[in-house]
Amino acid sequence: MTATLEAAAPNPAGEIPSFTVTLRVRRFNPEVSDEATWQDFTVEAHGTDRILDALHKIKWDEDGSLTFRRSCAHGVCGSDAMRINGRNRLACKTLLKDVNPDKPITVEPIKGLPVVKDLVVDMEPFFASYREIMPFLITSGNEPSKERYQSPEDRAKFDDTTKCILCAACTSSCPVFWTDGQYFGPAAIVNAHRFIFDSRDEGGSQRLEILNDKEGVWRCRTTFNCTEACPRGIEVTKAIQEVKRAMITRAF
Ligand code: SF4
Ligand code: F3S
Ligand code: FES
């Protein structure tokens, strides 16, 4: 049976009928071949199932060697970003019925990072950039006896960028990052933004200097892929523009 959106909707009795859907998964196992191949899996699904549920069914019932990362299954840990029908998404936040299940749904690893096996990429280059921007509060003493106060207005300046879950959907959708993987990438800049605009932090100048590098913010071409890819709805490109502006206004 071919899946249709109608088939995914509850019937008049309120039951959610099942339907079949095909996942076309990019497979890669360096112990078997240097080449990646596509493999189709057909699974029984319900309208409320997500890509992650379908991948679980494949792994548990059909092919235990299928390899992918996931942990929370609820959009919090950021470990299951993948390319679904050519677009970066979290598998646990993507309903099958929302990605045209009438046709085989392609599932591939995110781009620009080395593939380790199947849908798993080596995240180390991504986290290396993250570590470089010093993603922690920097102060020079003056420890308060209770807490470091901050007005709601000052907190609001970086509220959006606190939502990052480090899934890499933004960085791995950026064409500049694809070219050579040297660009810091939008995720690192988002996390720098989170501290640069924090009124309690004193490391803003250092971070701006780091991002003023030839592989830093100036490589961004305002393509907006990152903003479209972010599963947390962060205005990534806007944050990058704010960091660029801070560099200019803070005498960089
Ligand atoms: Fe993921 Fe969004 Fe953070 Fe990028 S900014 S790593 S897309 S949560
Ligand atoms: Fe890349 Fe986003 Fe800039 S996709 S070019 S970092 S706006
Ligand atoms: Fe944690 Fe999807 S499994 S975000």
User: Which of 176, 180, 189 for mutating ligand 2's site (highest number of atoms within 8 Å of CB)?
Assistant: 176
Q: Decide which of 121, 137, 171 is a domain's last residue.
A: 121
Protein residues whose CB sits closer than 6 Å to any atom of ligand 2: 174, 176, 186, 220-226, 236-237, 240
Q: Are residues 241 and 175 in the same domain?
A: yes
pLDDT at residue 10, rounded to an integer: 63
Atom of ligand 3 nearest to the CA of 71: 3
Q: Are residues 104 and 202 in the same domain?
A: no
Residues 6 or more apart in contact with residue 71 via CB below 8 angstroms: 77, 79, 80
5, pLDDT greater than 60: no
Protein residues whose CB sits closer than 6 Å to any atom of ligand 1: 78, 164-170, 186-187, 190, 229-230, 232, 234, 236
CB hemisphere CA count around 220 (13 angstroms) = 29
pLDDT at residue 3, rounded to an integer: 44
244, pLDDT greater than 50: yes
pLDDT at residue 141, rounded to an integer: 81
pTM for the predicted model, two decimal places:
0.92
Q: CA end-to-end span of the chain, whole Å?
A: 61
Q: What is the CATH number of the domain that holds 169?
A: 1.10.1060.10
Q: Which residues pair with 20 in a beta bridge?
A: 44
Q: Are residues 184 and 97 in the same domain?
A: no
Cα(234) to centroid of ligand 1, in Å?
Answer: 7
Atom of ligand 3 nearest to the CA of 93: 2
Cα(118) to centroid of ligand 3, in Å?
Answer: 17
For the Cβ of 157 lying below 6 angstroms from any atom of ligand 3, the answer is no
Greatest Cα pair distance in the chain: 68
Residue nearest to atom 4 of ligand 3 (CA): 75
Q: Are residues 140 and 216 in the same domain?
A: yes
pLDDT at residue 16, rounded to an integer: 67
Q: Are residues 210 and 247 in the same domain?
A: yes
Cα(230) to centroid of ligand 1, in Å?
Answer: 5
Q: Determine the Cα–Cα distance for residues 110 and 169; give it in Å rounded to an integer.
A: 7
138: helix, strand or coil: coil
For the Cβ of 90 lying below 6 angstroms from any atom of ligand 3, the answer is yes
Kindly report, residue by residue over 13-32, the tens digit of the pLDDT: 666 678 899 999 999 999 99
Residues 6 or more apart in contact with residue 12 via CB below 8 angstroms: none
Kindly report, residue by residue over 109-145, the tens digit of the pLDDT: 999 999 999 999 999 999 999 999 999 999 998 788 8
For the Cβ of 77 lying below 6 angstroms from any atom of ligand 3, the answer is yes
Atom of ligand 1 nearest to the CA of 230: 7
Q: Angle at which helices 236-249 and 186-196 pack, to 10 degrees?
A: 60
- The answer to whether the beta carbons of residues 220 and 243 sit under 8 Å apart is no
Q: What is the CATH number of the domain that holds 74?
A: 3.10.20.30
Angle at the Cα of 43 (from 41 to 48), degrees rounded to 5? Answer: 130
Q: Are residues 214 and 164 in the same domain?
A: yes
Q: Are residues 18 and 135 in the same domain?
A: no
- Computed over every residue of the chain, the mean pLDDT equals 93
Q: Which domain holds residue 168?
A: 124-251
Reference 23, options 119, 111, 114; nearest CA is: 119
Reference 192, options 239, 156, 154, 159; nearest CA is: 239
Q: Are residues 116 and 160 in the same domain?
A: no
Count of domains observed in the chain: 2
Q: Are residues 117 and 202 in the same domain?
A: no
Order of strands across the sheet that contains 37-46: 37-46, 18-27, 105-108, 81-84, 87-90
103, pLDDT greater than 70: yes
Q: Are residues 54 and 142 in the same domain?
A: no
Q: Are residues 140 and 226 in the same domain?
A: yes
Q: Which residues pair with 40 in a beta bridge?
A: 24
Q: Decide which of 121, 154, 176 is a domain's last residue.
A: 121
Lowest-pLDDT range, 43-47, 82-86, 131-135? 43-47
Kindly report, residue by residue over 206-241, the tens digit of the pLDDT: 999 999 999 999 999 999 999 999 999 999 999 999
Q: Are residues 68 and 117 in the same domain?
A: yes
pLDDT greater at residue 182 or residue 4: 182
Q: Decide which of 121, 145, 169 is a domain's last residue.
A: 121
Cα(116) to centroid of ligand 3, in Å?
Answer: 19
